[in-house]
Amino acid sequence: MAAFKDALDLVASMPLARPEHPDIPGARYVILDGFPYMAFYAVKDRDVVIVAVEYATRDYVDRIAKRTEGAR
């Protein structure tokens, strides 16, 4: 939980600083320190919407793309 909280603090401080995923338009991500997980989020107006936390090696592109569409 500490790694997730640290990742969210980083995102909250500068949400547009994290890279956009090359295969998922509108989805940005941050890797959880020390774990093979990625937190995906979208920025909508002034809000940050967490759309998923996924295991980094799974096939997640289609799932995240669908969730991100609704968050933008």
Q: What pLDDT, on the 0 to 100 scale, is given for residue 46?
A: 86
What pLDDT sits at residue 20? Answer: 92
Please give the residue range of the domain that contains residue 61: 2-71
Q: Which two tokens stand for residue 46?
A: 């002034």
pLDDT tens by residue, the chain, 72 residues: 899 999 999 999 999 999 899 999 999 999 999 999 999 999 988 899 999 999 887 788 888 888 888 776
CATH assignment at residue 43: 3.30.2310.20
pLDDT of amino acid 72: 66
Q: What are residue 46's phi and psi, to 5 degrees?
A: -110, 10
Q: Look at residue 60 in the predicted model and tell me its pLDDT.
A: 84
Q: How many other C-beta atoms are found inside a 10 Å radius of the C-beta of residue 63?
A: 15
In the chain, the number of structural domains is 1
